[in-house]
Structure 1
Amino acid sequence: MADLAVRRQRALRHYGTPATTRVRLLCFHYAGGNAAMFRDWPDRLPADVATVAVQLPGRDTRLDEPPHVRMGPLVEELLDVLDPLLDEPFACYGHSMGARVALALAHALRARARPGPRALFVASSAAPALRSEVRGWDEPDEGLIAYLRDLGGTPPIVFERPDLLELFLPALRADLTAVATSGAPARPPLDVPLRAFAGADDGEASGERMAAWREETTGSFELEVVPGGHFFDQAGVARVLDVIAATLAGPR
């Protein structure tokens, strides 16, 4: 495994170059995804909000590193990789699997008496308390591919190219396995503002299925249904960024 300095370089994508950073937004991608989904976010966020996207192992610049199949080791690695950033103000955004990763990270920080996020933003992920079944992770490749098709958002060329699927499926399966086997451990809720976003056309994580995220915090909670499916459309992403910007513009 690459040493810590190399892993940090590979794992963290600093999008945008703010002259002054007031708060960092740590972003966690969906299962099978990568950090590039956040590359345009600085264009819609306040100039003093630094967007730092996390690249999990098993893809893109970290293709030679085995992906995690358990949430515990994944979070332990994040604590190491993100350590230099965690004593300054930060918030977390997680999309689909990334929402569960961000939640697990926040709990791990609290358990270590470390500062937690100023706000937690979660999207396209059924609330942990529902203990929803994760599709595809323990099925043959055909079942995993069918799940991908149902979700939408994957470029059609991926399904037409066996070589692309061969690169893509191992990380996707590992990511889904980490979520499927993590369960919903009994623990006190966080004390942090939590904002949840559901795609209006998302059958996997509808507004109804995301409403129980309110159980994850004693702080304020808001749920917003935005345009699009599991991955939102342009208008949906724009609304998400507007809410993030407004939330992070509040009192320090």
Structure 2
Amino acid sequence: MESATLVCLPFAGSGASFFKKWQAVAPPGLRVVAPQLPGREERLDDEPHITVEAAVSEASGWLLPRIADTSRVALFGHSLGAVLAYELAYRLSGQVPVVGLFVSGSAGPWSVRQDRASGLDDEGFLVAVRRLAGYRHPAMDHPEMLEMLLPMLRADVEMHENHRPQARPPLGIPVTAVRGDRDDLVTAAECGQWGDATTGPFDSVELAGGHMYLTEPTGERALLRLIENRLDARAAAC
């Protein structure tokens, strides 16, 4: 495969380290890059963003000098990360060669979540996040760590729940939407809404697992193979 860079955006509560291990299992020629947003991991003391616009602006500024010489750039995000990747695709358009958008575990970007966690007290918030994310962050079992991470997690959830995309023309790049075949949070129909986000090729794919299928080694490998196959096929078609 011709070399390409896969830019990965975090789901709520996660950081760049989640994607760093992907490089070890990524196919040859695929470079994995993940911007570190504030409020997490080594940037724990930095104020987290509460809007998608601010997060995307910082991510693009960090990315551009690192991908300026890349011949092909693809974007990936899961849940909140899918929204960030979608918005980043617009931000990078015309500056770098974006050849694909891979969105996972997310309804179309204009959908509005009716069941919200923002504004709840800490106990209610964590219960709601567990229900809405289908995932229990390891920090939830460690009170001291949870206290440190809670502001970032609240900011991520607020960012996701309050975001409303701008009215603008669809993207013109290939989009692949992915969900776990046992995802009880995002339906196949909701995943298919991403077809309206582009005038380019679109496909919707199910991989084995639940909403957080990508946190399992088998899901991780299956996802990277899918991305590799789609990028290979698109490069061959050019």
The answer as to 2:95 corresponding to 1:104 is no
Matched residue SS, 1:249: helix
Question: What corresponds to 1:213 in structure 2?
Answer: 194
In the other structure, the counterpart of 1:190 is 171
Partner of 1:34: 15
Contact 2:4 2:31 in 1 (8 A): yes
Distance in structure 1 (CA, Å) of the matches to 2:14 and 2:67 = 24
Identity of aligned residues (%): 33
TM normalised by structure 2 equals 0.88
1:248 to partner: Cα distance = 2.1
Q: Relative to structure 1, is the Cα distance of residues 38 and 160 closer, same or farther in structure 2, using a 3 angstrom cutoff?
A: closer
8 Å CA contact 1:44, 1:242 repeated in 2 = no
Question: Which runs of no fewer than 5 residues in structure 2 stay unpaired?
Answer: none
Cross-structure match for 1:154: 136
| Structure-2 change in CA distance of 1:134 and 1:167 (3 Å) | farther
**1:132–1:148 Cα change, 3 Å:** closer
Is the counterpart of residue 121 in structure 1 residue 82 in structure 2? Answer: no
* Cα offsets for 1:142-190 (capped at 9, x unmatched): 22210233234325x6333221211121111111211222213211100
Deviation, structure 1 residue 133? 3.3
- What is the aligned-residue RMSD (CA, Å)? 2.1
1:4-19 paired onto structure 2 within 5 Å? none
Q: 1:206 to 1:235 in 2, by over 3 A?
A: farther
Any conservation in 2 of the 1:126–1:132 contact (CA below 8 Å)?
A: no
2:92 touches 2:98 (CA, 8 Å); kept in 1?
no
| Secondary structure of 1:119's aligned partner | strand
1:76 aligns to 2:57 (yes or no): yes
Q: Distance in 1 between matches of 2:201 and 2:53?
A: 27
Distance (whole Å) between structure 1 residues aligned to residue 165 and residue 60 of structure 2: 20
1:91 is matched with: 74
CA contact (8 A) 1:127 1:210 kept: yes
Which amino acid is 1:234 matched to?
A: P
Stretches of structure 1 that go unaligned for 5 or more consecutive residues are 1-19
Contact persistence 2:38–2:49 (CA under 8 A): yes
1:199–1:206 CA contact under 8 A, matched in 2: no
The one of 212, 219, 224 aligned to 1:236: 219
Give the number of equivalent residue pairs: 230
- Corresponding position: 1:52 with 2:33: yes
Aligned residue for 1:171, secondary structure, equals helix
The CA distance in 2 between the partners of 1:145 and 1:51, in whole Å, is 31
Structure 1 length normalisation: TM-score? 0.84
CA separation in 2, counterparts of 1:21 and 1:141?
Answer: 47
In structure 2, do the counterparts of structure 1 residues 143 and 202 end up closer, same or farther at CA, with 3 Å as the change threshold?
farther
